[in-house]
Structure formats: structure tokens, C-alpha cells
């Protein structure tokens, strides 16, 4: 199953631009295809955005730091002002195609009312090594046409400690944390995301790291982990995910375009004992 979703901004402070009037000088485009394989079954979801203004900036109320090669982000809860404003743009018809014979490309059409590319579902099967190509027709006097390709990486088949959505692991914020992983020919990079979310007020904090799949291991320093909220498994949820991905970036006529293909990884819950 392949589901493609091309989204505009989900920020309440964002504006939107239509077909014209947008100068393609500071536009950031992102397309993400995520593959989830369970046995012989495939479920693929994709998201895309085309934003102008300051879409890559960190919201003013959040704090970002680089610690031990990882990025830590902390954001307070509701009621804090300063969200970065940006515009969601129409890039014309977008096609996502798999070069495998017999696989029908998916076509995404911009919806002017919602100012987004609505969800598109299909039944494409994407294997490791398949080359996916994204083509955008562009908009006159706006986003230029583009095409960008990336090959699907291999998948991650397991980790130590084992991650589970039904049984939490303990992750201390006062000690370095190391996780090893195994896979079937993972390429590109492996991304580790550790997130804590306060369900009562919307505050959240995360740590993200990346490693070469050949390393088979990612270590997060205690200084980075100290930025997380205390996950108690009740009001503060702790989630951890390992994902193999291949990312390609290119610049075309003022459009900075990034295409990421993320294959099946492992994920689960955690709590903090301290």
C-alpha cells in the first residue's frame, strides 16, 4: 500500500500563496517517502511541502543545541508566542514514480481550498534499491519545474535494546545511551530520534542523531539526553525510533529541494528512571 500526502503548513500562523505572485528565490521543498514493511505487506506514506519565508528556522520559543554530534530541541507548551511564519505554496502537479516495470506512478494535485496536496493512496510495493523519482511541473511566475531521484535503502530488522510499542525500555538521562542495530543492506544513513511529549501542555523535547549504517551503533551523550523531559509513561510520553534513510538535495532556479526515502525501521516506548 502506498499513501502519498503532500502537505502545506500545519502552523496556525502560516499564510498561503496560490499559483502566482511567489518569487522562487527562497523556497524550500521537501518530499519524504516512508516505507513500512510487515512481512509481505507494504504500507508507504509520503509527505511534501513547498514553503517560502523562513520554513527551516526554529520556532522562537524553542531552544536548539548540538551535543555529541546529536541535535537537541526543547520547546515549551501552549501559550508561548513566536512561531515562525511562512507561506505554503503550490508546486503544480507532482508525480512520484518507481522505475520498476508495471508500477503505476502516483499523481498529486494541489487543492486550492485546503491549500495542501490531499492524501493519495495506492498499492505500490517499494523494495530496497528501487529508484524513486519525484517530478514537479512547477507554476508560472512561481515554483520552477523540477525532478529529483533517490534509491530506497535497506531496512533495519532489529536493535539492542529491543524496541517495542507495548513494553517500554528504561533510558537514563544521566548516562550515555548506546543502541546497536542490524539490517538487510541498509544504505545512506540511519537516523535515531528520541522524543518526549507532555500530553498536558504540549511541551516537547527531542534528540536526533545520524550514523553510517556500517557502524551498526549510535551513542547519545548524557548531555544531550539531559535536554529531554522526564518520561513517566503516563502524562509524558517517551518514544524512540531508528530509521534507515537516503536523502538527496538539489537547487533548481531558487528552489532548494530535498527528497528523502526512509525505509522500515524499529520503534518503541521508553521511560526515564531519573
CA–CA separation, 131 and 153 (whole Å): 10
Task: State residue 226's pLDDT score.
Answer: 95
Q: Which cell is 19 given?
A: 499559483
212, 239 contact by CB (below 8 A): no
Residue with cell 516505507: 35
Residue, of 8 and 167, whose pLDDT is higher: 167
State yes or no: pLDDT of 1 exceeds 70. no
Residue, of 29 and 43, whose pLDDT is higher: 29
What average pLDDT does this structure show over 203-232? 93
Task: State residue 40's pLDDT score.
Answer: 67
Q: Which cell is 49 given?
A: 511541502
CA–CA separation, 164 and 41 (whole Å): 19
Convert 85-110 to b/e letters by CB count within 10 Å (16 or more is b).
Answer: ebbbbbbbebebbbeeeebeebebeb
State yes or no: pLDDT of 246 exceeds 50. yes
Q: Which cell is 148 given?
A: 529529483
63-108 pLDDT per residue, tens: 899 999 999 999 987 654 445 556 778 899 888 888 776 677 877 7
Under the banding of pLDDT at 50, 70 and 90, the label for residue 15 is very low
110-128 pLDDT per residue, tens: 888 888 777 776 666 788 8
Under the banding of pLDDT at 50, 70 and 90, the label for residue 21 is very low
Task: State residue 96's pLDDT score.
Answer: 87
State yes or no: pLDDT of 148 exceeds 90. yes
Residue, of 188 and 53, whose pLDDT is higher: 188
**Half-sphere exposure at residue 30, Cβ-oriented, CA atoms within 13 angstroms:** 15
Task: State residue 164's pLDDT score.
Answer: 93
Residue, of 93 and 14, whose pLDDT is higher: 93
Task: State residue 173's pLDDT score.
Answer: 95
Residue 60 belongs to what domain range? 2-271
Residue, of 215 and 53, whose pLDDT is higher: 215
| Residue in 23, 154, 16, 194 with CA at minimum distance from that of residue 89 | 16
178-212 pLDDT per residue, tens: 999 987 666 789 999 999 999 988 899 999 999 98
How many domains is the chain built from? 1
State yes or no: pLDDT of 20 exceeds 80. no
**Three-state SS annotation for the chain:** CEEEEECCCCCCCCEECCCCCCCCCCEEEEEEEEEEEECCEEEEEEEEEEEEECCCCCCCCCEEEEECCEEEEEECCCCCCCCCCEEECCCCCEEEEECCCCCCCEEECCECCCCEEEEEEECCCCCCCCEEEEEECCCCCCCCCEEEEEECCCCEEEEECCCCCCCCEECCCCCCEEEEEEECCCCCEEEEEEEEEECCCCCEEEEEEEECHHHCEEEECHHHHCCCCCCCCCCEEEEEEEEEEEEEEEEECCEEEEEEEECCCEEEEEECCC
Residue, of 7 and 166, whose pLDDT is higher: 166
State yes or no: pLDDT of 154 exceeds 90. no
Amino acid at each position: 500500500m502506498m499513501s502519498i500526502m503532500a502537505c502545506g503548513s500545519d502552523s496556525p500562523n502560516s499564510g498561503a500563496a496560490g499559483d502566482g505572485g511567489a518569487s522562487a528565490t527562497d523556497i524550500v521543498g521537501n518530499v519524504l517517502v516512508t516505507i513500512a514493511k510487515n512481512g509481505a505487506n507494504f504500507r508507504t506514506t509520503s509527505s511534501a511541502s513547498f514553503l517560502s519565508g523562513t520554513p527551516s528556522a526554529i520556532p522562537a520559543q524553542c531552544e536548539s543545541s548540538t551535543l555529541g554530534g546529536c541535535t537537541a530541541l526543547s520547546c515549551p507548551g501552549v501559550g508561548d508566542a513566536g512561531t515562525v511564519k511562512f507561506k505554503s505554496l503550490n508546486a503544480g502537479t507532482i508525480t512520484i514514480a518507481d522505475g520498476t516495470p508495471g508500477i503505476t506512478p502516483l499523481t498529486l494535485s494541489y487543492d486550492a481550498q485546503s491549500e495542501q496536496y490531499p492524501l493519495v493512496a495506492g498499492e505500490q510495493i517499494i523494495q530496497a534499491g528501487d529508484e524513486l523519482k519525484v517530478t514537479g511541473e512547477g507554476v508560472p511566475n512561481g515554483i520552477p519545474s523540477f525532478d529529483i531521484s533517490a534509491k530506497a535503502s535497506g531496512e533495519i530488522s532489529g536493535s539492542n535494546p529491543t524496541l517495542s510499542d507495548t513494553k517500554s525500555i528504561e533510558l537514563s538521562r544521566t548516562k550515555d545511551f548506546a543502541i546497536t542495530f542490524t539490517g538487510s543492506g541498509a544504505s545512506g544513513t540511519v537516523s535515531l530520534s528520541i522524543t518526549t511529549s507532555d500530553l498536558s501542555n504540549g511541551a516537547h523535547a527531542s534528540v536526533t542523531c545520524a550514523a553510517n549504517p556500517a557502524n551498526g551503533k549510535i551513542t547519545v551523550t548524557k548531555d544531550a539526553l539531559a535536554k529531554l523531559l522526564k518520561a513517566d509513561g503516563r502524562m509524558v510520553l517517551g518514544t524512540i525510533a531508528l530509521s534507515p534513510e537516503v536523502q538527496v538535495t538539489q537547487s533548481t532556479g531558487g528552489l532548494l529541494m530535498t527528497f528523502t526515502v526512509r525505509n522500515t525501521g524499529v520503534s518503541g516506548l521508553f521511560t526515564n528512571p531519573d
